Amino acid sequence: MKIKEIAKLLDAQVLCGDEFLDNEVYSACGSDMMSDVLAFVKDQSILLTGLLNSQVIRTAEMMDMRCIVFVRNKRPCADVIELAKENGITILASPDRMYEACGRLYAAGLKGGCTSEK
């Protein structure tokens, strides 16, 4: 699924990374706990979160994520957006709650790639 399709599905505003809207993503993860993203998520392309600090960008960079969707109409400060630009990460802002946003993406065919041990 292309990032521009995700933006449309989530009625999201593009805050940065317009030039990457044609990039394909294949999976998604929704979390406000960056430690969980680092510990349990493998090969993700998009992160949905309500957390607004620079650790979100750093985590996405480490996990090779291409896009971050801030849910619940949250918008990061200019420094966080600038850090995303420097790292080639598209930032979207959606009015949806995380549960709703994840559900829409899953229903549209975007799968999760979370690996957890049971």
Q: What is the pLDDT of residue 114?
A: 54
pLDDT of residue 95: 98
Q: H/E element holding 90?
A: strand 90-93
- Judge contact between 104 and 10, C-beta under 8 A: yes
Structural domain count of the chain: 1
Q: Which residue has the tokens 């959606």?
A: 94
- The verdict on residue 106 lying in a domain is yes
113 phi and psi angles, rounded to 5 deg: -125, 25
Grouped pLDDT means (10 residues each) for the chain, 118 residues: 97 97 92 86 83 95 93 96 97 97 94 57
- Residue 118 has a pLDDT of 40
Mention every residue, 6+ apart, whose C-beta is less than 8 A from residue 80.
Answer: 52, 53, 54, 56, 57
Q: What is the CATH number of the domain that holds 64?
A: 3.40.1390.20
Residue 117 within any structural domain of the chain? no
pLDDT number for residue 20:
96
Does some domain include residue 118? no
Domain enclosing residue 22, as ranges? 3-111
Please report the pLDDT score of residue 57 as a whole number. 96
pTM: 0.91
